Amino acid sequence: MFRVLITDPLSKLGIEQLLDATDVKVVQKTDLSKEELLTEIADADALIVRSQTQVTAELIQHAKKLKVIGRAGVGVDNIDIPAATAQGIIVVNAPDGNTISTAEHTFAMLISLARNIPQGYRSIVRGEWNRKAYVGVELNNKTLGILGLGRIGTELAKRARAFHMNVMAFDPYLTEDRAKKIGVQKASLDHVIAASDFITVHTPLTKETRHLIDAKAFSQMKNGVRILNCARGGIIDENALFDAIQSGKVAGAALDVFETEPPGEHPLFTLPQVIATPHLGASTREAQENVAIDVSQEILHILRDEPFKNA
């Protein structure tokens, strides 16, 4: 029997094939302490996580039988891949199951940011009727700058085009041809930063993208720019964002992800221009089923020594 350990909440429907498999025992334990995790991993053949569990080198060293780590989602920045590779453990993710949900969430944040919807809601439930305080801006004819035109960035671009936004994008792998097909203008990082009314990041978090938007980048932006991060905490320097909002350079920010999660009582939350959600980009029934199904299939193939898709 293969022991599959699941340490973050996963869609039950999505893991049905693991639960039904006669050669698999599923052990689902969330919110484990570090010590509990080290004990549980010892005899696991497979581990499935979302973004909460930190799969560190120490955890990997405690895994005596582990063959595969499955990430039910896109970002693998919570997994120490070099440590896994050194131990011969395969790491797989679910690269496209939550693309639409995350693009839709980003678009919801874009409209909410432009029209002060969370601020207006908070004010009306406090018993106020303050129509002057929450005057917003239209998306129509505004420039949306997308940093990272991969799966999510592309779906977001299509939605922004439907709202008659001008979309420009920076991505080192973007070709003129592809940009044309999607209806976006391919531009340099500096140009996107300087020319956009809204800037949204959709890159992975890597050494190159950590603090891609820092104090210098903010200083080069238009006055009144609005910023979104529904990708990964750390791509935007949160201290620099705080200063840029306080100085009036940035008119507002919409954040789904944070440098430390959960962020607790973050200084950014003291600013009325900041709206936020608790890493909800992929939190739809559909996305959670998709990623759990994809990762479960991959894990079964790998445990059974069958061909698999991504690693």
Min dist CB 279 to ligand NAD, Å, is 5
CA distance to 24, 73, 94, 242, 300, per residue, from 16 (Å): 11, 17, 16, 44, 12
Per-residue x/- marks for ligand NAD, 175-204, CB under 6 A? Answer: ---------------------------xxx
Cβ proximity of 244 and 252 under 8 Å: no
| 114 binding ligand NAD? (CB under 6 A) | no
| 226 assigned to active site | no
Residue whose CB is less far from ligand NAD, 250 or 291: 291
List the single partner that 50 binds among ligand MLT, ligand NAD, none, CB under 5 to 8 Å by kind: ligand MLT
Cα dihedral sign, 79-80-84-87: negative
| Catalytically annotated residue among 155, 202, 232, 289 | 232
Contact between 147 and 199 (Cβ < 8 Å):
yes
**Residue 75 contacts ligand NAD per CB under 6 A:** yes
Which residues lie near ligand MLT (CB under 6 A)?
50-51, 73-75, 98, 279, 281-282
Query: Which residue lies nearer to ligand MLT by CB, 56 or 277?
Result: 277
Amino acid letter, residue 278: P
> For this structure, is 266 an active site residue?
no
Q: Which of 209, 288, 290, 296 binds ligand NAD (CB under 6 A)?
A: 209
Q: Which of 19, 56, 9, 12 is nearest to 37 (CA)?
A: 56
Distance CA 42, CA 197 (A): 51
User: Shortest distance, CB of residue 147 to ligand NAD, whole angstroms?
Assistant: 5
Q: Using the CB atoms, write b or e for 81-112: b if 16+ within 10 Å.
A: eebbeeeebbbbbbbebbbbbbbbbbbbbbeb
Q: How many chain residues are in contact with ligand NAD, going by CB under 6 A?
A: 31
Q: Give the number of other Cβ atoms within 10 Å of residue 138's Cβ.
A: 11
Q: Which is nearer to ligand MLT, 108 or 194 (CB)?
A: 108
Q: Which of 2, 107, 170, 198 binds ligand NAD (CB under 6 A)?
A: 170
Write the single-letter amino acid at 258: F
Q: C-beta of 25: minimal distance to ligand NAD in Å?
A: 29
Q: Which long-range contacts (CB under 8 A, 24 or more apart) does 24-30 make?
A: 24/300, 24/303, 25/1, 27/3, 29/5, 30/6
Asked if 152 is part of the footprint of ligand NAD (rule: CB under 6 A), the reply reads: yes
| 150 contact, one of ligand MLT, ligand NAD, none, CB 5-8 Å limit per kind | ligand NAD
- The reply to whether 230 sits near ligand NAD by the rule CB under 6 A is yes
d(CA 288, CA 74): 12
DSSP string computed for 121-151: HHHHHTT---SSTT-----TTPEEEEE--SH
Give the shortest CB-75-to-ligand MLT separation in angstroms.
Answer: 3
Q: Are 252 and 221 in contact (CB under 8 A)?
A: no
115, 261, 266, 301: the catalytic one is 261
Report the alpha-carbon distance of residue 248 to residue 273 in Å, rounded.
10
Residue 98 in the binding site for ligand NAD (CB under 6 A): yes
Burial of 230 (0-12, 13-18, 19+ CB in 10 A): buried
Residue 149 interaction partner, one of ligand MLT, ligand NAD, none, beta carbon < 5-8 Å per kind: ligand NAD
58 given a catalytic annotation: no
Q: Which of 40, 155, 279, 298 is catalytic?
A: 279
Nearer to ligand NAD, 304 or 309 (CB): 309
- Residues of this chain that interact with ligand NAD (CB under 6 A) are 73-75, 98-99, 102, 147-153, 170-173, 202-205, 208-209, 230-232, 256-257, 279, 281-282
* Active-site amino acid positions: 232, 261, 279
